[in-house]
């Protein structure tokens, strides 16, 4: 799981979020402790705690004194809603802006999305002799 370039505490928070979204960690389920994370990944417990506490601050996890950390009921829906917003900002908004610049109308854009391009459907296929020749 641990990747170069991204802070470890962020990777822990992202992994826990992904596990909640995909159902690996159920709402109401117990989350590994900071010491369990620290031992498994051979990191400082404070680093693990920082990642977990990010999700506590976001209302995704809750501390139960003396018992551990647990996924809050409603956390999955909340994370999905947050990810959809991020998806729109990161992918859809730039797509729409570029479509406007190119003069692509909404129905044409929808058709492009529904119909995979020939570049993605014909990967690794050689160009036929006729296609490669100049006209």
Q: Is the pLDDT of residue 51 over 70?
A: yes
What is the value of pTM for the model shown? 0.72
Within-domain flag for 64: yes
SS3 73: coil
Q: Is the pLDDT of residue 17 over 90?
A: yes
Ranges 31-40, 116-125, 126-135, most confident: 31-40
pLDDT in tens, 64-83: 998 999 999 999 999 999 99
DSSP state of 30: E
Stated length of the chain: 135
Q: Is the pLDDT of residue 117 over 80?
A: no
SS3 54: helix
Within-domain flag for 51: yes
Whichever domain contains 67, its CATH number is 1.10.10.10
Domain, as residue range, for 30: 8-74
How many domains does the chain divide into? 1
Q: CA-CA distance, 121 to 126, in Å (whole number)?
A: 13
Six-digit token pair at 123?
């990967």
């Amino acid at each position: 799981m641990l990747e170069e370039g991204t802070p470890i505490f962020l990777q822990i928070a992202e992994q826990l979020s992904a596990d909640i979204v995909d159902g690996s960690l159920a709402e109401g389920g117990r989350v590994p402790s900071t010491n369990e994370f620290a031992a498994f990944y051979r990191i400082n417990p404070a680093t693990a705690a920082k990642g977990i506490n990010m999700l506590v601050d976001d209302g995704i996890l809750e501390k139960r004194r003396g018992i551990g950390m647990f996924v809050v009921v409603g956390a999955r829906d909340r994370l999905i809603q947050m990810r959809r917003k991020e998806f729109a900002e990161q992918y859809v908004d730039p797509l729409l802006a570029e479509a406007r610049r190119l003069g692509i109308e909404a129905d044409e854009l929808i058709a492009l999305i529904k119909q995979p391009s020939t570049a993605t459907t014909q990967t690794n296929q050689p160009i036929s002799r006729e296609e490669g020749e100049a006209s």
